[in-house]
Amino acid sequence: MVEVTLAEIGALTQRALTAHGADEWIATEVTRAVVEAEATGNKICGLYYLESYCQQLRTGRVNGTVEPVVSRERPGFVRVDGKLGFAQAAFAKALPDALAAARENGTAALAVGHTHTCTSLGFFTGQIARAGLIALGMTNASPIVAPPGGKTRVIGTNPIAFSVPDGQGGVAMQFDQSTTTVALGKITMAKAAGQSIPEGWALDVDGNPTTDPTAALGGSLVSMGGYKGWGFGLMAEILAAAMTGSVFSRDVKPLKAPEGPPHNLGQFYMLIDPSASDDFGARMVTLAESVTQDEGARMPGQGRTLAETVMVPDALWDQLSAMR
């Protein structure tokens, strides 16, 4: 393992993305997401994805030069067409309008359509919270989850995230998870490492529980809490695909495949202005005190700090450093 700083990760990521065809400002937005993922220990959404980003820039699965188009069709509804580019760039273009709409109306929706995978949803909801608003976000992904009682993949891991502001430019609570028992990336990482997976994560192609990551990737992942998680995942599918005009999970090819059609995925965010409540801040303090009264208990995301340096496998760092 090699210890590297966040600045080094940022410089490497920016350089690799621009070398493979991304415009500077677009590469900067994606780099911010990669750096935050590494700094928070979210390895699956960090450097793990960089080679894929670069390959897909070269093959055209993602457009690194397109300008997202933002429209505000109704007072409380903002839409951005990502034009098959990076989700980070589309979100960045639309965020000012979405924040303004929520502050004017109390609530607002932001529909992000036709983009590359957004990887970590918390990266986006956290930005909304740091701007002082409550955020709920969701997205869909390539199909890997069958409905309860079925074997045919219908939806993706379909994450949901929410973030709450602390009133001081920070985040009081942040929750970000897939609607499956585990994220798909953990299965693929286990396969690459030659490791088994815990029972309860996945089913094989015949619908039987498996601890073999290869069999899991050929089968389906298990929704968290069974039909309860399935319901959340299905709602994420409805909002992320049907409300944004993007594709349903069933039509998305594997996200990291170097070639193939663009992802064309969507994300959907709800923004809520807490100033609509006269005592929101005080009530959040009361709630947090209740949650943390026992030693070791905390609000989700509370106390999370960004690491200044992170450990990266030597082979991965060498491979990414050599990308031109």
Instruction: Give the tens place of pLDDT for each residue, 118-130.
Output: 999 999 999 999 9
Q: What integer pLDDT is reported at residue 186 of this predicted model?
A: 85
| pLDDT per residue as tens digits for the range 226-281 | 889 999 999 999 999 999 999 999 999 999 999 999 999 999 999 999 998 888 98
What is the spatial distance between Cα 198 and Cα 176, in angstroms, rounded to a whole number? 21
Rounded-to-integer distance, Cα 59 and Cα 47, Å: 19
**pLDDT score recorded for residue 264:** 97
Provide the CA 46 distance to its chain's centre, in angstroms: 11
pLDDT value of position 295? 86
Q: Tens digit of pLDDT for each residue in 4-27?
A: 999 999 999 999 999 999 999 999
Mean pLDDT score across all residues of the chain: 93
CA distance 290 to 23: 47
Judge residue 53's burial from the number of C-beta atoms within 10 Å of its C-beta, 0-12 exposed, 13-18 middle, 19 or more buried.
Answer: buried
Report the pLDDT value the prediction gives residue 185, as an integer from 0 to 100: 79
Predicted confidence (pLDDT) at residue 223 exceeds the cutoff of 80: yes
The tens digit of pLDDT for each residue in 139-169 reads 999 999 989 888 889 999 999 999 999 988 9
Nearest to 269 by CA among 145, 152, 156, 133: 133
In a 10 Å sphere around its CB, with 0-12 CB exposed, 13-18 middle and 19+ buried, how is residue 77 labelled? middle
Whether the Cβ atoms of residue 2 and residue 306 lie closer than 8 Å to each other = no
Distances, alpha carbon 186 to alpha carbons 77, 162, 176, 201, 321, in Å: 35, 22, 15, 10, 24
- For the cut 90, the answer to whether the pLDDT of residue 298 exceeds it is no
Amino acid 157: pLDDT: 92
Tell me the pTM.
0.93
